[in-house]
Amino acid sequence: MAVITISKEFGTEGEKVASRVAEKLGYEYIGKNLVADIAKELHISESEAATFRKASQSRILRFVDRYTCSIVQKVVDREHGCLDDKNYYEVTKKLVENVYDAGNVIILGWGSQCLLKEKPNTLHVRLIKDNDLKIKEVMQAENLSSKAAKDYIDREENDLKAYIKQYFNEDWNAAHLYDLIIDMGKTSVEKAVGMICDNVKHKTE
pLDDT tens-digit readout, 106-153:
988 888 999 999 899 999 999 999 999 999 999 998 899 999 999 999
Q: Which stretches in the chain have pLDDT values below 50?
A: 58-83
pTM: 0.77
Q: What angle do CA 168, 174, 179 make, to 5 degrees?
A: 100
What pLDDT is stored for residue 205 in this prediction?
60
For residues 2 and 12, what is the distance between their CA atoms, to the nearest angstrom?
23
The dihedrals phi and psi of 112, each to the nearest 5 degrees, come to: -65, -25
What pLDDT is stored for residue 78 in this prediction?
38
CATH architecture of 3-204: 3-Layer(aba) Sandwich (3.40)
Let me know: does 92 contact 76? Beta carbons within 8 Å.
no
For the chain, give the mean pLDDT.
Answer: 79
The dihedrals phi and psi of 83, each to the nearest 5 degrees, come to: -100, 125
